[in-house]
Structure 1
Amino acid sequence: MMQYRVEFVTLCALMVLAAGAWGFVALVQFAHAAEPHGFDQRILLLFRDPANLSQTIGPAWVHEAVRDFTSLGSVTVLITVILIAMLFMLFSRRPGGALFLLVAVVGGQLLNSWLKVLIDRPRPELVPHAAEVFTLSFPSGHAMLAAVTYLTVGALCARVVHGRMLKAYVMSVAVVLTVLIGISRLYLGVHWPSDVLAGWCAGSAWAVLCWLLARAVLSRRRAGEGLAESA
Structure 2
Amino acid sequence: MSTVDAAVTRLFGLLLLLGACFLGFIALSDEVSEGETQDVDERVLRMLRDPADPSVPRGPWWLAVSAEEVTALGGVTVLFLVTLAVCGYLLLARRYRTLLLVLVATLGGGLLNTLLKQLFSRPRPSVVPHLTEVMTQSFPSGHAMLSATVYLTLGALLAQLAERRRLKAYILGVALLLPGMVGMTRVYLGVHYPTDVLAGWVAGLAWALLTALVARALHRRSPALRAEARRPVE
Indicate the TM-score class for this superposition, using the shorter chain for normalisation. over 0.9
Secondary structure of 1:72's counterpart equals: helix
Q: Distance in 2 between matches of 1:170 and 1:34?
A: 38
CA contact (8 A) 1:16 1:204 kept: no
CA contact (8 A) 1:115 1:139 kept: yes
Return the letter of the residue paired with 2:199: A
Q: What is the aligned-residue identity percentage?
A: 46
- Determine the structure 1 residue equivalent to 2:136: 135
Secondary structure of 2:55's counterpart equals: strand
- Determine the structure 1 residue equivalent to 2:114: 113
CA contact (8 A) 1:31 1:119 kept: no
- Determine the structure 2 residue equivalent to 1:212: 213
- Determine the structure 2 residue equivalent to 1:58: 59
Q: In structure 2, do the counterparts of structure 1 residues 224 and 186 end up closer, same or farther at CA, with 3 Å as the change threshold?
A: closer
Q: RCO higher in 1 or 2 (8 Å CA, sep ≥ 6)? A: 1
- Determine the structure 2 residue equivalent to 1:159: 160
Q: CA deviation at 1:120?
A: 0.9
Secondary structure of 2:54's counterpart equals: strand
CA contact (8 A) 1:30 1:194 kept: no
Number of equivalenced pairs = 225
TM-score by structure 2 length? 0.91
- Determine the structure 2 residue equivalent to 1:92: 93
Q: CA deviation at 1:8?
A: 1.7
Q: In structure 2, do the counterparts of structure 1 residues 125 and 73 end up closer, same or farther at CA, with 3 Å as the change threshold?
A: same
Give me the CA root mean square deviation.
1.7
Could you list the runs of 4 or more consecutive aligned residues of structure 1 that deviate by over 3 angstroms after TM superposition?
222-225
Return the letter of the residue paired with 1:151: L
Q: Distance in 1 between matches of 2:154 and 2:19?
A: 21
Secondary structure of 1:118's counterpart equals: helix
Q: Distance in 2 between matches of 1:84 and 1:223?
A: 24
- Determine the structure 2 residue equivalent to 1:33: 34
Q: Distance in 1 between matches of 2:157 and 2:224?
A: 22
Q: CA deviation at 1:34?
A: 4.6
CA contact (8 A) 2:37 2:195 kept: no
TM-superposition CA deviations, 1:51-99 (whole Å, max 9, x none):
2211111111111111111000000000011011112222333222211
TM-score by structure 1 length? 0.92
Q: In structure 2, do the counterparts of structure 1 residues 96 and 146 end up closer, same or farther at CA, with 3 Å as the change threshold?
A: same
